[in-house]
Amino acid sequence: MTTMRRLSIILVLLGVCAGVAAAQEPPAPAPAPAAANPLAGVSLDKYRLNADKNDALQVGRAFLDDLKKASPDAWASVTEAIRYDLQTGETERFARQKNYVLYAYAALWVILLVFVVGVFARQRHLAAELAELERRVSVERK
């Protein structure tokens, strides 16, 4: 019997064993029904933004104050989640906008440098022209 045929038989046997084992395992328990959202039935109208009466900061703070009174643990979790989200967002925004500030700063110096180099080039050109004029005048005089 060739080595390849032996290996094939071993693999088939392993597959059969695995199939039998899987068949004998108890079926996975059905996922537990999602816990009902405790806020689902609660009226949150009090915390809705009404542009004529309040602003988002006021209603947001009122909600957090009420939440803290009702459950300090829940309040701590919520504020922690908000802090993390805000921090992540602000870090990304800072990194993105910092690049724009650097581009603007670099552009400023490149433009000024080009102007200064241009003025010095003109100055050198002028000096060369003056030297040429002096040379031509002295040649003509001789």
Partner 1 sequence: MKLRGIPTFVFAAAAALLFFRLPFLVFEKAPLDYMLYINQKIFYYHVPAAMMMFLAVFVCGVASVLFLVKRDPKFDDVALAAGDLVVTFGLIVLVTGPIWAKAAWGVPWVWEARLTQSLLLWMIFVAYALVRRYGGAGSERLASGLALFGMVNVPMVYFAVNFWKTQHPTNKVVPNLRGAMLSVFGTATLSYFLLFLVLLSVRLAVGRGQRRLAAAHDLAVENGHLD
**CA distances (Å), 46 to each of 71, 117, 119, 133, 139, in order?**
18, 66, 68, 88, 98
Number of neighbouring beta carbons within 10 Å of residue 44: 9
> Is residue 57 near partner 1 by the rule CB under 8 A?
no
Interface with partner 1: number of residues (CB under 8 A): 27
Please give the Cα distance from 13 to 19 (Å, whole number). Answer: 10
> Is residue 88 near partner 1 by the rule CB under 8 A?
no
Query: What's the closest the beta carbon of residue 103 comes to partner 1, in angstroms?
Result: 5
> Is residue 115 near partner 1 by the rule CB under 8 A?
yes
Among residues 16, 18, 82, 107, the one that binds partner 1 under rule CB under 8 A: 107
> Is residue 135 near partner 1 by the rule CB under 8 A?
no
Query: What's the closest the beta carbon of residue 135 comes to partner 1, in angstroms?
Result: 11
Q: Using N-to-C axis directions, what is the helix angle for 56-70 and 72-141, rounded to 10°? A: 140
Give the 3-state secondary structure of residue 19: helix
Query: What's the closest the beta carbon of residue 87 comes to partner 1, in angstroms?
Result: 14
Q: Is the dihedral of CA 98, 100, 101, 106 positive or negative?
A: positive
Contacting residues toward partner 1, per CB under 8 A: 93-94, 96-98, 100-101, 103-105, 107-108, 111-112, 115-116, 119, 122-123, 126, 129-130, 133, 136-137, 140-141
